[in-house]
Structure 1
């Protein structure tokens, strides 16, 4: 059972376990190649905005041992950065930072509001895009569910800041969602919800 918490801090050992989980969730038939980056060098190859964003979402609370960078097999260019954090003499998967390129543009940043005690948060920012996105109740529900800000892993409570946004880029826009592993099977397993991310990307594209 792979609950994304490990007794090892070895990058090769942990990386293989994480790859196994990612491959399972995206339905790939062959092992997925990935790049390994030291925890303090996340901005070097994946682009400064991803490295900076990961640091901002974590708020410096977790000591990241290393990041694993996956190009996900999907119809649209999609990427997953998995942050592996130190936990005693072992480690656990913390922040999962998904990005996908959308062909439709937005003319200003759009972001899901902070979690609410009652009801679902909606998108705020570029008015035209928000109107279209907020009109889709299923999208709002699923975006709120995936953009988790708290979860459990290896007996720890993990917390990050809310991140679900669409930002302009040349030739379209980019969807960025930060989340945490979701415990399953009484905590003996964990899900990264890759298919939910793909579904949300498709829904956002359709709405825009």
Structure 2
């Protein structure tokens, strides 16, 4: 949908639902991807008025004037929006999602494949023994939120020990609140645990 002199009409068809929005340039190239709990509120927040393309107090203000069209994709929930945003950024590498050039400043997702019950975490250290890396990722907030959601879904441990201990022969708090499958206490087999870790890899 072309935005020039048409912002009010465009906003009139944007729903108040979760989803992902894409800003494109004159050549139809995706230059920015964002997610939202409420697409209408989020997209409308970029514009000072309904007449001109004006950005106020937004981190993407540096590409004012380069946006020609807006597209959006509605999702069933915020989790799907998080995952879709991450996927679209990875696939398209939009210019203004990756405007910094030095990959050294970007975090990676590390999968500790050498561990009995692999950990999955965000790091900027590329020299961790036994780790397999995915990335780098420029949208730090988004990747943190995505990993947090995936941990909840697949109940991957987030304790920092390479070999989780059996403290007082009982499961940890995270198990009781459904944030960990407690592999160290035999609540899930090592094979099934690693299968869940594999599912997480598919998102990166």
Pair member with larger Rg: 2
More strand, by proportion: 1
Q: What is the TM-score of this pair, normalised by structure 1? A: 0.26
Compare relative contact order (CA 8 Å, sep 6+) and give the higher one, 1 or 2: 1
